[in-house]
Amino acid sequence: MKKHCVLPPLFGAVLFTVSSAFAGENHKPAEGGAMLPIRGLHCFAPHKPEAAACEKFIREVLPKEGVNHLVLEFNYNFAFKSHPALGSANGLDAQAVKQLLKACRESGVKLIPQFNCLGHQSWAATTSALLKQHPEFDETPHVPADNKGIYCREWCPLHPEIHAVVFALMDELADACEADAVHCGMDEVFLIGDPKCPRCGGKDKAELFAGEVKKLHDHLASKKRVMWMWGDRFLDGKATKIGKWEASENGTHPAIDLVPKDIVICDWHYDKAPETPRYFLAKGFSVVACPWKNESVALGQLKIMRALAAEQGGNKALLGMLQTTWVPFARFEKAYVGEGESSDGPGAAKCFKALFAEMRKP
């Protein structure tokens, strides 16, 4: 998405035109009296030495800004007991997470853990714990160990043993957070259906992607948890001219018609504000619009969401906004108080302040 990468310049305008809403506390009316129940912030989960600062940030900053949902992206930055080798010695353990959860509840904030699924199993030359410990799960084991020539590694969605491991990690993390929703990532999937994969090669990429979404969804549903995911792989990057990052150009977009509708779509756009929330609504999904570090894009997305809410009579599938950060938690926290130096941290913090100031207006 993202995040740590520099996105290519994109986008033409896109004009596209149930599931349960996640109503948070302290709702404020949007323009025209419409309600946008989610005012969320997405951050990387802190490392163990940062836990106290994170708890303070939750208690002091989030209520002041009006945040009522916090998505913490853990991935393998957690002290897993089910598969200790896949966790991090510097990650939070269940007890530390309980402290953050307590701070969230006392601050009127819903905590949603994120565990990246399918894609983002590496970054630059570093491969994440799952594929390091289980190279048999790799969709592209023929790619050199330094990950040269690819964006991020992915797991093979058809490997018969992958989901037993992944589900154990997700369940342990969700249990620690006492969560009734889990964000599964699923963005920027470029390698799916690799021709050299003995299981996936030659198969339809939309069907492969939809199959993985359904497996994750059905497992979470069996635990009475709702699936959240990024929406980029459901958008046709070529037809919309949005491009291959914020949409798909490798054939996964038809998967949108093959998956359950009670999934919350996090519709991220960082350079322009296309009207893609309308498309997800028309397809039957609940949607959250997600900016990063461009204030005008964030306010444009908010304007679209408010206009849709007014137009559609307070459609409860229009859930609200989720500000992303894409720097380590400590860097974002420092940027928020004016101590950051890199462009990404202060950019995201400035955008966050501008967006939430606008959402707090009566």
- CA count, 13 A, side-chain hemisphere, 353: 12
Name the residue among 59, 167, 45, 131 with its Cα closest to residue 94: 45
Concatenating the DSSP letter of every residue in 200-236 gives TTTS-HHHHHHHHHHHHHHHHHHTT-EEEEE-GGGSB
Backbone φ and ψ for 353, nearest 5 degrees, come out as -65, -45
Fold exhibited by the domain 31-360? TIM Barrel (3.20.20)
Give me the residues of the chain with pLDDT under 50, please: 3-34
The pTM of the full predicted model, rounded to 2 decimals, is 0.91
Name the residue among 62, 64, 20 with its Cα closest to residue 42: 62
- Looking at residue 31, its pLDDT comes to 42
Structural contact between residues 34 and 307, judged by C-beta atoms closer than 8 angstroms: no
- Looking at residue 362, its pLDDT comes to 77
Residue 155 carries which DSSP code? B
d(CA 4, CA 290): 15
d(CA 191, CA 234): 15
189: CB partners within 8 A, 6+ apart: 118, 119, 154, 209, 233, 248, 250, 252
308: CB partners within 8 A, 6+ apart: 277, 278, 281, 315, 318
In the structure encoding, which two tokens stand for residue 58, read together? 């939750």
- Looking at residue 19, its pLDDT comes to 30
d(CA 245, CA 260): 23
- Looking at residue 341, its pLDDT comes to 61
